[in-house]
Structure 1
């Protein structure tokens, strides 16, 4: 009898968000066909932000671009970079050949509206992420290629060179069309990423609209300032070409929402009722709840968002806040009541304490609690990765490790998990190399 494929079902907060969608393979070819030059690297990882203030314009351009080959046969597992990105390259034309440059200036003039409109085109087309494939407009389909396209540059840049086309600015000066850049000069492949700033989404300047190229495709999403991870290392920059073009205001949708006044302000602070929260809820109050929880220390429970659709992440974050108040039982069920809401909107009560190192979810039958899929993805660096790797070695699935296991998630971890999943008789998406609750239970039981 053929062994049925076991499909793992992770908690909602871990499997229905852009963070978890990083687990999926990047489509191997651009849907626009004629401009693809090479197959995209399987499971091309994410992102690249531009240069830091310490990496000056000239210095950033001089940084060497490392060779990248994640998942390519012959490359030893564990040696791959965490955040692969393409190197500097010209625009590409039909048939995949580099197109000759006809631009007379290195920083073509543009406007903020033009930058945002170009960024939106890739979002609408859902351009697949790839560090080696070029879209129909000639730009490379990774994060730095995306910013190069949005700014209308004459070639494809990378995170180590984008800084020379921009001037550093302060957070208060950010306007739609600027970029937020993290370039790690010590190790360009460790975390480097870049996004386009689309405007603030709240008056506290805690969240903004980010346009970014990330697996599996280009997205526009609400993002905590400055970014989900390595937040302190993301620096704002403004494209130099804006100074040579007539300025236009960015689309109105990208500007901050006006402040509520009078009766409308009361609606924002008054408890909207229990029916606004819980499974199936999808409204503005869920978003407001999530943002208030993040401000009170519950950010670690979200891998993306917060957003209007109620998820397991909202429940866990709400419960964490309730537990911080000393509440137990029904008072800490993860569903906000009038008391929870009042503490959040008034800023009273206790904040959610920081997570203790090595703490996991509640154990079940001697098995350590599954910490959530967000702990095991490209860029993750935590004690759970080490715990997972050591158990894989103990179970006889450690042949892919050359060193470690350690806390930084790598291709060796993914291949080892995949081997364990296949040993269970699972195939397809059930054996993708990323642990879910059932993989975790079987591995530690």
Structure 2
């Protein structure tokens, strides 16, 4: 992302706390609004120096040209929420709201009162009074360690020497593996807001990311109204209550990822994801049956023993489906999106890569293809998708059922 343009103005006080920062920004914005009626957008900022470090906040313009968002939605600039979000569940819900609407990345556009870039996205999810940037977001949080990361925290990389060179921020959505090498990231990055499994701490600048928790989040989680419960001890079973119809949380995604690694990919046509579905229950039941369990012990709802075997990588894998598995037109059954993600290594990745080469879309392979999912695989899939005339989210390089069908038909 690029550094926003800021204009230094005289602060009305010497206090550099986030609250005073926000009030100065709001006051400045109001003055600008009265003077710029009819303007497309005016970007103003207030900057203060605290302990030698510059803090800045982007003022809300009086009027702005609507920024692009998902089809059917108008990106109007509304008033930003007042009052920081105190619940991790609400932070993730706000982030998912922009993901669901496919809010497009644009540093010059606003959606629901917040700038459509990475720091505006986090500002929105945390409920800040206006859009911050990577150089000011840290002042609204407290540093936490990797071992203490919880959903709703942010991972921030601010390159103070050259802010336009790689500065970025994402929201942490929960671990996807017991080894804590990958996590669910919510972020606004080109081309649009997304939720994806990401290597810790990020794809690049891996030594520069710092974890922060919003100062407004209440101790113990502030969950309120369901969602992901307060995190149990590392590797511990989160409780049967987080699984089942109507549940939506990061533990369901973690369960699905572990089941995919143990042979359950065929049960997922999409996902795994945070909303409990038939695919999760069927894959869990298949794993339980593989252990020789029957009856209530294989009802498809994970208990402590099911979770322990999956988390520790012990027990028996889900056996391959009998009787083939292809479709009527000869296309092999789609194994599910979960097998095509960073950190995954399986025969389906090899099968995909070989078919891409066969179809003439293997130009990004320096070696391989092989069983470990890589950026080369993703770029080759993206090239194939673009050759179908797809753009945006339809050409993200992650194969879905239709990509798979066209590739193998």
Task: Quickly name the TM-score band, shorter chain normalised.
Answer: 0.3 to 0.5
Q: Higher relative CO (CA 8 A, sep ≥ 6), structure 1 or 2?
A: 1
What is the TM-score with the length of structure 1 in the denominator? 0.45
